Structure 1
Amino acid sequence: MICNKKSILSILPYITALMTNFIFGLSFLFSKKALGVTDPITLLSFRFLTAFLVMTLLIALRVIKVNYKHKPIEWLIGISFFEPVIYFIFETYGLQRTASSLAGLMIALIPVVVTILAAYLLKEKPTPKQTANIILSVAGVILIVVMGSSDSKESSILGIILLLGAVFSASFFNIISRKISIKFTAFEITYFMMFIGAICFNGISIIKLAVNKKLSFYFAPLKSVTFITSILYLGIISSIIAYFLVNYTLSKMEASRCSVFANISTIVSVTAGVVILNESFYWYHVIGAIMILVGVGGTNYYRAKSEESEATNI
């Protein structure tokens, strides 16, 4: 009985990692569906308002705890600028102009860009094998962009550029969050991000409606069942439940190993886009996807190897 319990606990982090990335993979599908009902800013305002209100309720019920006393709040404001504000503006507007399957492939580049930025900002130079895998991933993106430039039905160059903006924004967020993780708990960082997202996007949405004298239309999207289900998924399941799963996984598994599971979200988003939304997926998408995924996996693998080697030498 004890052995069975131990074996279950040993595989549980892998199960939660799979669940987390499956949830993240489907978020592109729900975002795409919601964008068929309303504009990106309205989608973001309701998404983060829902997440903020639910997390506030959890804090009130003492399910989670946060404490910002005598802590450098200015750092939280800084990282919240990159994510969620800049990141989700780029991602959502980019998703509006591209297929969700392609968006999933582009976002998969985040670990690669983090490695590149870490080389300049944190002086963490990539190994030759990491560099080769970075080049492979970038080549995969270039192949998709060049071959798909003539097909404007589902994706556009502007959409891809916006998604690259999201990738760099999320990468800067990851770099900065490493610096402040010793000052704040993961719950405190996430809750503050939801708060900033709710304030910024709702502020923009309300000002926009007020200027156009359409303030009474603020709750109009809630008439759509598709919009409501998308917001519930994005605000609660993707922003809160998935976060709890991430928090548990990271408490039981090294971050370098966790990052490898991120490829699953890409596969899920691509599959959902093609199967459910009937998005086109050409031969160059397949080759480009393989190049990106192999490159991302290789970058993560050799980074983990490098970290293990450094730890052994200490």
Structure 2
Amino acid sequence: MGDNKKYLPIIAGIIYSTIFGFSFMFTKKSLDLVEPFHLLGFRFMMAATVLTILQLIGIIKINFKGKRIHILLLLGLFQPVSYFIFETLGIKMTSSSEAGMMIALIPVFVTILAYIFLKERPTPKQFLFVILSVAGVIFINIMKGSMDVRGSIAGIFVLLGAVISAGFFNILSRKSSLQFKPVEITFVMMWIGTIVFNGISVIQHINNGDLLDYFNPLLNIDILSAVLYLGVLSSVIAFFLVNFMLSKLEASKSAVFANLTTIVSILAGVIILNEDFYWFHFLGGFMILLGVWGTNYFGVKNKRDKKVGQ
């Protein structure tokens, strides 16, 4: 039985990374049928509703008494607000597979921002892998510019906005985690997303004079299935799987699953959505993934070596 238990975190990692990988495809398909802020509003409303029900029936415990909740409000500006604005618009402008490759850069930008704001110096090996990942993105864009391929270079830069937003979120969440449990942070994030994105979408519908049709898109089975997938699977169930995995595996092992998310997103885009995937996507994607792995691996190894030295 004990042998089986040690595989549970690995199974959790495979499931959550697969869920995240397919989320780009569901977002891409839905954006052909519904406006970006409308989709985001539905997604976060679904997630916030599920989390609130779980709190009311006692499955999750949330307590903000005596805690500085304004820290979470600042954190919420980066994730979900700016992150999902950039990610959703970026997916609309590019392909599902390209979005997956770009989002894989998040650990690299966390390393860069930690150096700038937290004075956490990357090791020389980490620095080389950071350059390798960034070079992969530049390579894909140069090659796209020289060929008539589907997808916008501007969309890549919009996705870069999502990556930078996630980097800032990671920096802020380190401080927040000293006061708040992960489920409390997620609870506030989901409600911030619900209020902000539905607020923007309601204003758009008022301007268009069709506010009474606000919930009509949910009658479309493709949109409803995407909202259920993104709101329940991606935002709630995957969250619990991530936390379970992180509680059992060291960071160097858990970071590998972020690369699996990218591979799933590429396969979903190419096989299911019939997106173009050229040799330079493969080579650039390999550079990005190798760079992400090296940035994580040597970062964790450096921390471990420092502890041994002390």
| TM bin (shorter chain) | over 0.9
Matched residue, 2:277 = 281
Shift in Å at residue 223 of structure 1? 2.3
For residues 11 and 167 of structure 1, the distance between their equivalents in structure 2, rounded to whole angstroms, comes to 31
Q: Which amino acid aligns with 1:38?
A: V
Select which of 212, 220, 226 maps to 1:230: 226
Residue 200 of structure 1 pairs with residue 196 of structure 2 = yes
Matched residue, 1:92 = 88
Shift in Å at residue 82 of structure 1? 0.1
For residues 131 and 104 of structure 2, the distance between their equivalents in structure 1, rounded to whole angstroms, comes to 14
Matched residue, 1:172 = 168
User: What do the CA deviations read for 1:125-177 (whole angstroms, capped 9, x no partner)?
Assistant: 11111111111111100010111125565311221111000000001000110
For residues 223 and 9 of structure 1, the distance between their equivalents in structure 2, rounded to whole angstroms, comes to 42
Matched residue, 1:64 = 60
Shift in Å at residue 89 of structure 1? 0.2
Q: Which amino acid aligns with 1:302?
A: F
Aligned length: 310
User: What do the CA deviations read for 1:184-234 (whole angstroms, capped 9, x no partner)?
Assistant: 000000000000000000011111111221101211211211100000000
User: What do the CA deviations read for 1:276-305 (whole angstroms, capped 9, x no partner)?
Assistant: 000000111011011111111111111111
**Unmatched 5+ residue regions in structure 2?**
none
Matches within 5 A, 1:217-296: 217-296=213-292
For residues 150 and 91 of structure 1, the distance between their equivalents in structure 2, rounded to whole angstroms, comes to 25
The answer to whether the 8 A contact 1:50-1:236 is kept is yes
Select which of 9, 12, 34 maps to 2:8: 12
Q: Which amino acid aligns with 1:240?
A: V
Q: Which amino acid aligns with 1:50?
A: M
Shift in Å at residue 253 of structure 1? 1.5
Q: Secondary structure at the match of 1:279?
A: coil
TM, length-normalised to structure 2:
0.98
User: What do the CA deviations read for 1:3-26 (whole angstroms, capped 9, x no partner)?
Assistant: xx1111112111111111111101
Shift in Å at residue 235 of structure 1? 0.2
Over aligned residue pairs, what C-alpha RMSD do you find?
Answer: 1.0
Q: Which amino acid aligns with 1:40?
A: P
Matches within 5 A, 1:97-112: 97-112=93-108
TM, length-normalised to structure 1:
0.97
Residue 163 of structure 1 pairs with residue 159 of structure 2 = yes
Q: Which amino acid aligns with 1:215?
A: L
Tell me: CA distance 1:204–1:124, structure 2 relative to 1, closer, same or farther (3 Å). same
Matched residue, 1:122 = 118
Select which of 143, 150, 174 maps to 1:147: 143
User: Alignment identity in percent?
Assistant: 53
For residues 175 and 152 of structure 1, the distance between their equivalents in structure 2, rounded to whole angstroms, comes to 38
Matched residue, 2:25 = 29
**Unmatched 5+ residue regions in structure 1?**
none
Shift in Å at residue 40 of structure 1? 0.6
The answer to whether the 8 A contact 1:99-1:273 is kept is yes
Matched residue, 2:45 = 49
Shift in Å at residue 41 of structure 1? 0.4
